[in-house]
Amino acid sequence: MMEDKREIFYKAFLEKDSSFEGVFIVAVKTTGIFCRPTCPARPKPENIEFYPSAREALDNGYRPCKVCKPMEKLGNPPEGIKKLLKYLEEHPSVKVKDADLREMGLEPNQVRRWFLKNYRETFHAYQRMFRANTAFQRIQLNENVSDVAFGSGYDSLSGFNQMFKNIIGTSPQNSKEKQIVNIAYIETDMGLMVAGSTETGICMFEFADYKLIDLELRQLGKHFKAPLVQGENRHIVTLRRQIEEYFKGDRRAFDIPLDLVGTEFQKEVWLALLKIPYGSTTTYARQAELIGKSTSVRAVANANGKNKISIILPCHRVIGSDGSLTGYGGGMWRKRKLLEFEQRCRQGELEF
């Protein structure tokens, strides 16, 4: 490895710089383990070497660190949390308490910390949101409010009505005309992603560690004048299936309704991204030419930077005029890996 690159990587490792996730793996000669760039371990520089991937570290005899878990997909739930999420999905009326978590083999404090860190809300708030969304969907299907209330695990209509109004913003009886924005977390091979959807279509699909994610969520609520409610609708169900197909190499274009949030010009720029062939790249200049109307390259670049629907609207396929990779909200390492993945799939090599 070139010395200057080694110095850059070591500095990033010391600073636990998350932007280098996916760029390198740190292997420690004295312990025989390998770590993420964000691992709290601090071995001496002479005792470490860098590899571009976990696979190469494994091939060279290293084993994964038990602290930072470099073999797990970035931000995706560990197995215990996955089982808990599945249980909540299958039993939306059950209120899971600390004793229930322990019976599942989960430590309540660890569960709470995970939800706060990754979902930006407490576990109990997540449950309330999930139950409210399930109730909202049932009422939209003209189910009786009393049946929905007691079927949601509530002992009284008043308690159910209060919960529903606090989250949805209106009473169950008046919610037929109410719009909400469903928010759901989706595991992908590139890490945890946040999906937002109205009844019209997907309005957001962003990497959960994107630094402006909270701002984008607030913008959705303001634009639609609607509460953001944890839970799924039919478009998110479709998105889960299609994104899984994409990362398996079985899907090259998405067939899912979108509900774009932006100016008319921004929407035009984003929809132009769909014309970039899978596994190919274009430049901001060529994208501007495609739109026409004397569109400036800078205006196109700025619009791409405000794209809230990653991968589906493939702004990762736009590069600099000199062939260099340029800014990407999900991190440059993701942009590079997405391009490499699509190019390999196009050539018949399906391995991620």
Which are the catalytic amino acids? 315
- Residue where the block lists tokens 């990497």: 207
State the amino acid at position 288 in one-letter form.
Answer: A
**How far is the CA of 181 from the CAs of 129, 154, 230, in angstroms?**
12, 24, 8
CA distance 257 to 200: 7
297 by Cβ neighbours in 10 Å (0-12 / 13-18 / 19+) ranks as middle
Candidates 312, 317, 308; CA nearest to 335 is 317
Within 8 A by CB and 6+ apart from 197, the residues are 181, 182, 184, 203, 204, 232, 233, 235, 236, 239, 259
Within 8 A by CB and 6+ apart from 142, the residues are none
CA distance 164 to 151: 14
As given in the structure block, the two tokens for residue 272 are 């132009």
Adjacent-strand bridge partners of 182: 197, 229
Q: Collapse the DSSP code of 299 into the 3-class scheme (helix H, G, I; strand E, B; otherwise coil) and give the result.
A: helix
Adjacent-strand bridge partners of 318: 282
Q: How far apart are the first and last CA of the chain?
A: 24
Within 8 A by CB and 6+ apart from 190, the residues are 22, 73, 74, 207, 247, 330, 334, 337, 338
The secondary structure of the chain in percent helix, strand, coil, rounded to multiples of 5, reads 45, 10, 40
